[in-house]
Amino acid sequence: MTDFAALLLADDGAPATSLTVLAAAGFDHWLRAQGERTRSFVAAQNFKARPDEVALVPGDGPGDWAALVGGDDGPWGLAAAAAKLPAGRYRIATPPGSAALGWLLAQHRFDRYRKASGDTGARVLLTTDVGSIGETVRLAEATALVRDLVDTPAADLGPGELASAVAAEARIFGAEVDIIKGEALLTGNFPAVHAVGRAASRAPRLIDLRWGDPAHPRLTLVGKGVTFDSGGLNIKPGGAMAAMKKDMGGAAHALALARLVMQADLPVRLRLIIPAVENSISGDAMRPGDVLATRAGKSVEVTNTDAEGRLVLADALALAGEETPALLIDFATLTGAARVALGPQLPAFFANDDALAADFAAAATASGDPLWRLPLWPGYRDMLKSNIADLNNSPEGGFAGAITAALFLEAFVPAGIPWAHFDTFAWTPAARPGRPKGGEALGLRAAWAVVKRRFDGKDSMF
């Protein structure tokens, strides 16, 4: 992984190139105060201080130069500069705030499958805001973890490899991991996880990590770990299947949030639960019309084998609820309906507690990590009724698909447990500064701000 700690350093006064952030609103006033030489260089580069614009201007001495960056509030304001500027050390006049995160992530690359190329060198940012460096580096590491896991093809990231990724984090922080595999899922009472994953050549797993003092408040994170989704017998068309390596993006988010919790040594009893499966096709695949048992004792009629994520989450959420955690959060790349409603940049979230929802909304705004709350609309519960089972997994008609999926999950969360559900895309379809096309952490920073505030009692860096 990228050594982010080497890219954001405390300003030690050593020589560095000046980096000035300019807002478009005040640019003309700034420009009038500059000398003719600087104005000429700025005009030649057509620099107007618009977001993501970068320009180089001469300094006072021979060989001296400085950099100008178009201002943009939020975490991505310096991302374009970090990608475009020459390698070297840069000194910014004012503390970069959350923009330091974009500076770091703009220099991260998923290069596992690329031939090694010449190193272009690092862009190092010097800051006087020493207290924020550690938090920013940890957020960059967590985001990169999500990106790298999601970007890894399913051939190299099946249920077993996902379990290994969790175990690797557990070793770093002294956590315990229990993994239930294959037919043992039936004896362990995870029938829905087994039913979804049994058709694949790689056995399904239930990954269960525990960390922290058992006397502390319980924080439980659940992540959908479908390492590839063919759609099952309701097979997806080729275009819809192309990016389905990302269907474990919920698990990647949950693992990254768990990493942040353990790194910060929050006073919680952390539990991370990931049902890891591949939704495949074989003679043993679950069929439309099958009725599945679940850990909670509720039966589910399978009306669509491509609505498999909510099935594995049903068992995981039921397990999570058995300990009555103080807070339960799940992440899932669950529905196309959420993307149709909100697009790829704005994750939907649901909460059964208005105070919790308000915390997430405030954290999303403060952190520049947007979320949008959708309702757990009770009038749509009738859509989940089945003629032969307690529930069906995919209502007909397609109306309110993200909401009915969330209502399905809510049926497996015991009453009284504060719960939030994230329906996240985990993907950037078109590159933007600091955010290459591919896997992305959407909602992670907002969730971390809420968790940190609730259990640590301190304001987050945002």
Q: Tell me which residues are annotated as active site.
A: 236, 310
CB–CB of 125/100 below 8 Å?
yes
Q: Which parts of 139-191 are beta strand (E)?
A: 176-181
φ, ψ (nearest 5 deg) of residue 407: -65, -35
Name the H helices within 199-308: 238-241, 249-263
- Closest among 57, 276, 37, 257 to 163, alpha carbons compared: 276
CB–CB of 404/392 below 8 Å?
no
DSSP 91-131: EESS--TTHHHHHHHTT----TTSPP------EEEEES-GG
Instruction: State both tokens at 48.
Output: 């107007």
Name the H helices within 352-400: 354-367
Cα gap 83→108, rounded to integer Å: 10
Cα gap 61→265, rounded to integer Å: 48
Q: Residues with Cβ < 8 Å from 355, sequence gap 6 or more?
A: none
Cα gap 240→229, rounded to integer Å: 10
DSSP 393-459: SS-TT-TTHHHHHHHHHHTTSPTT--EEEEE---EESS-BTTB-SEE---SHHHHHHHHHHHHH-S-
Cα gap 74→367, rounded to integer Å: 8
Instruction: Report the alpha-carbon angle 428-405-283, nearest 5.
Output: 90
Counted residue by residue, the chain has a size of: 462
The residue to which tokens 């201002």 are assigned: 71
Sign of CA dihedral 33, 38, 43, 45: negative
Cα gap 206→251, rounded to integer Å: 12
Can you say whether residue 63 is alpha, beta or left, with left for phi > 0 and alpha for psi between -120 and 50 degrees? left
The alpha carbons of the chain give a radius of gyration, in whole angstroms, of 24
